[in-house]
Amino acid sequence: MATSKSRLKLIDTQAAEPATLKASATDRIVASITGAIVERRLVPGTKLAEQKIADIFKVSRTIVRQALIQLGGDRLVTLEKAHGAHVAMPSIEEARQVFEMRNMLESAMVRQLCARITDAQVAQLKAHLLEERQAVKRGDVATRTHLLADFHVVLAQLLGNDVLANSLRDLLNRSQLISLMYQSSHSADESQREHELVVDAIERRDATAAARLMASHITSVERNLRTDPEAADLSQILRNPG
């Protein structure tokens, strides 16, 4: 994958004021790069040049480096002394572990949610599903990608568990990176329909069905990853012009 020339599309920001806004400038850079990964505008392996990012955000390279170190801690960026920073390229084993962790967490999460969800919270979930459907229908890739991922975080938030919500957000960011890396064929339509089934089970307070459907959804996403990409066809690449 030739990624060194991939376009770095980051959300432009206003110039940060020195010193006092140092932390917020770092946060903006982290949020922008994370958002670009989640929305599939930054592909695995893309070089994240410090000076270019510093110019975009009108901050020092020191602030950019702090942001990249934070992203490295989140496993979204790899940092190497000789080669600088790049969007991470997860291994097949890491991908397997991420989905295994999601399966364990989210199956247990929906079981708990069935036991305590209120009618008002069900209505909140249905409103989220409506937004998903509308974004999928109009082909709004950025919005639908965000909403489909955020669905899982919303479930955790309904439990009132901020630690779980933050952990899931990190895992979902890594899942998006994995889907990019391995060219997931799991469509937005499929994900949206599967979310509908999970919410139907939650509304019925059917913990067994909700857990089964969530596990099936996550397994389906993982199964559709191309973890064994086809080899390049040299007969096509090196076709004899004569």
Chain segment 37-68, per-residue pLDDT in tens: 877 788 888 999 999 999 999 999 999 999 99
pLDDT score, position 23: 61
Chain segment 225-239, per-residue pLDDT in tens: 875 544 333 234 333
pLDDT score, position 16: 38
Q: Which amino acid is at 5?
A: K
Chain segment 12-38, per-residue pLDDT in tens: 444 434 444 556 889 999 988 988 887
Q: What is the per-residue burial (b if ≥16 Cβ within 10 Å, else e) of 96-111?
A: eebbeebbebbbebbe
Burial class (CB in 10 A: 0-12, 13-18, 19+), 38: buried
**Cα-based angle 30, 84, 142 (whole degrees, multiple of 5):** 35
Q: How confident is the model at residue 177 (pLDDT cuts 50, 70, 90)?
A: confident
Where in the chain are all domains bearing CATH 1.20.120.530? 92-223
Inform me whether the pLDDT recorded for 186 exceeds 70.
yes
- Contact between 61 and 149 under an 8 Å Cβ cutoff? The reply is no
- Residue 86: what are its φ and ψ, rounded to 5°? -140, 155
Q: Which CATH superfamily is domain 92-223 in?
A: GntR ligand-binding domain-like (1.20.120.530)
Q: Name the E strands within 55-201.
A: 77-80, 84-87
Mean local confidence (pLDDT), 64-82: 90
Chain segment 86-140, per-residue pLDDT in tens: 999 988 899 999 999 999 999 999 999 999 999 999 999 999 999 999 999 998 8
Burial class (CB in 10 A: 0-12, 13-18, 19+), 75: middle
Q: Which amino acid is at 200?
A: D
Note if the pTM is more than 0.75.
Answer: no
The pLDDT mean for the chain works out to 83
pLDDT score, position 229: 43
Where in the chain are all domains bearing CATH 1.10.10.10? 22-87
pLDDT score, position 8: 53
d(CA 106, CA 232): 37
pLDDT score, position 236: 41
In the chain, the percentage of residues whose pLDDT exceeds 70 is 84
Pick the CATH number of 22-87 from 1.10.3720.10, 3.40.50.300, 3.30.1330.60, 1.10.10.10: 1.10.10.10
Mean local confidence (pLDDT), 160-187: 86
pLDDT score, position 133: 95
d(CA 161, CA 163): 6
